[in-house]
Amino acid sequence: MGLPYGRLTEGKKYGVSTDDFTRARAEKEIHTVSRTMADLRKRSIRVLPGGDFGFKWNPHGRNARDLAMFVDLFGFSPLEAIQAATQSGGELMGEPERLGVIAEGAYADLLLVEGDPVRDISILQDPRRFRAIMKDGTFHKAPVSDLAVQTVTAE
């Protein structure tokens, strides 16, 4: 989905054809995929985000845009989109206790962001809002110092 979406939204600045035929084909693909994905969701068929990355108009690191498409185009709630990218991924990979969950003994791949992506999924597309990044329990972006000393109580 990222390729036709990227073609429509960013293709022109990268020299990708935006003639009427190309635009119509991309729009039809987006419409068809959106309708199909919404139908799969209604039928409770598990769907995970993923895309064709590595193109100028759909570069690596745009995974969060896929989550926004799940919400904006496919009818998922932000929480459902996040669960599809995390929890469902762990289940699909055969490691539901260690991958895509926050639990003792899990891999501890975490992203701490400023804001609430369950209210606004688009904040995941803004790296300036990333406060800490952890992979396998090791920080790759250390917590912002003022956050490191705060205590947060779960509601």
Per-residue pLDDT of 24-47, as tens digits, reads 999 999 999 999 999 999 999 999
In which region does residue 26 sit, left (phi positive, over 0), alpha (psi from -120 to 50) or beta (all else)? alpha
The CA distances from residue 155 to 31, 91, 107, 145, in Å, are 39, 27, 25, 24
Q: What per-residue confidence (pLDDT) applies to 91?
A: 94
Closest CA to 108 of 79, 82, 67, 139: 139
Q: Compute the average pLDDT of residues 9-36.
A: 88
Instruction: Tell me: pLDDT of 153 over 70.
Output: no
The gap from C-alpha 20 to its chain's centroid, in whole angstroms, comes to 29
Instruction: Tell me: pLDDT of 18 over 60.
Output: yes
Instruction: Tell me: pLDDT of 152 over 70.
Output: no
Per-residue pLDDT of 96-122, as tens digits, reads 999 999 989 898 888 999 999 999 999
Per-residue pLDDT of 69-95, as tens digits, reads 999 999 999 999 999 999 999 999 999
